[in-house]
Amino acid sequence: MCLILFGYKVKKKYPLILIANRDEFFHRPTAPLHFWENNAGLLAGKDLEQGGTWLGVHKNGKFCALTNYRDPFLIKQNAPSRGEILVDYLESQIPCDAYFNVLKKNAAAYNGFNLLFGDKNGIYWFSNLKNRVERIQPGIHGLSNRFLDTPWPKVESGKTALLKMIHKPITTESLFSILTDQSVPDDTRLPHTGVGLEWERILSPLFIQSDVYGTRSSTILLMDQDGNIDITERTYNSQNCLVYTDRNFYINAVTPG
């Protein structure tokens, strides 16, 4: 994922409202949201190049999503795939609040990432560059390719739009409309992440378009008070056209504790 916006404990019906865009090169092979054959409880899209995922849920009530940390000067050429971290977490029997002990053991081997993970009992953010975990507090939050709530324009505009939406009847269509915003901020507001001005402009909207790289999918995740998860994915191609009709799943979660 390259953008995650979420409201935590700001609406009674849905203690977690999470919306996210996955941005990736169009040539990278990907399978849409589905239950994995080798683990029927795991629901996620799949990176067919490395075998991991960017956002997933499990019938045990867990969910997780990952964003990369953008800094080309920090890239390790032979680092393992960050997508495997999510699969390991979702398949693990370790409680969410104790999983940090697993993460910190090998976190430094990976290129920079942020992991948002949890279940009905709590949500956490982990950065391998900070090597620490924080329990998420109630409110509207955003996560792109820096740290939690770093005030990049896309994060701030997305948080503002989600906050306005919280006070209205929640529909997947209204939430998807936030994720399709292609507004480009003024150059003076762009972050400086080492990729050059042209790419800072390309990467600055909530919904990214270019000939080779862009928003490949958008996801809406709604968790109710019992930990049940309603998740919908909308997938795009390089022409900004839907690849599939919306894929919707409902997870009747059996959560631990």
Q: Domain for residue 16, yes or no?
A: yes
Work out the average pLDDT over 163-183: 94
pLDDT at 176: 96
Work out the average pLDDT over 234-240: 86
Percent of the chain with pLDDT over 70: 98
Q: Domain for residue 10, yes or no?
A: yes
Global pTM value: 0.95
pLDDT at 257: 47
Work out the average pLDDT over 240-257: 76
Q: Domain for residue 43, yes or no?
A: yes
Sequence-distant (6+) residues with CB within 8 A of 220 are 18, 19, 172, 175, 176, 231, 232
Residue 124, pLDDT above cutoff 90: yes
Q: Which two tokens stand for residue 102?
A: 């697993």
Percent of the chain with pLDDT over 90: 88
**pLDDT band with cut points at 50, 70 and 90 for residue 38:** confident
Residue 255, pLDDT above cutoff 90: no
Work out the average pLDDT over 36-52: 94
pLDDT at 254: 72
pLDDT at 256: 52
pLDDT at 239: 79
Which tens digit of pLDDT belongs to each residue from 125-140? 999 999 999 999 999 9
Cα-Cα-Cα-Cα dihedral of 91, 134, 147, 59, to 10°? 20
Higher pLDDT, 9 or 257: 9
Closest among 217, 140, 156, 139 to 191, alpha carbons compared: 156
Decide: 67 and 144 in contact? Cβ < 8 Å. yes
133-137 long-range contacts, CB within 8 A, separation 24+: 133/100, 133/103, 135/97, 136/8, 137/8
Q: Domain for residue 7, yes or no?
A: yes
Q: Domain for residue 47, yes or no?
A: yes
Work out the average pLDDT over 68-96: 95
Total domains present in the chain: 1
Q: Domain for residue 256, yes or no?
A: no
Decide: 219 and 232 in contact? Cβ < 8 Å. yes
pLDDT at 242: 67
Cα-Cα-Cα-Cα dihedral of 225, 5, 167, 164, to 10°? 180
Q: Which two tokens stand for residue 231?
A: 């998740």
Q: Domain for residue 257, yes or no?
A: no
Average pLDDT, the chain: 94
8-13 long-range contacts, CB within 8 A, separation 24+: 8/123, 8/136, 8/137, 8/138, 8/139, 8/141, 9/138, 9/139, 10/138, 10/139, 10/140, 10/166, 11/166, 11/170, 12/225, 13/170, 13/224, 13/225
Decide: 98 and 116 in contact? Cβ < 8 Å. no
User: Rounded to an integer, what is the distance from CA 142 to the centroid of its chain?
Assistant: 10
Q: Domain for residue 226, yes or no?
A: yes
Decide: 225 and 239 in contact? Cβ < 8 Å. no
Range of the domain at 116: 3-251
Work out the average pLDDT over 41-68: 96
Residue 194, pLDDT above cutoff 90: yes
CATH number at residue 205: 3.60.60.10
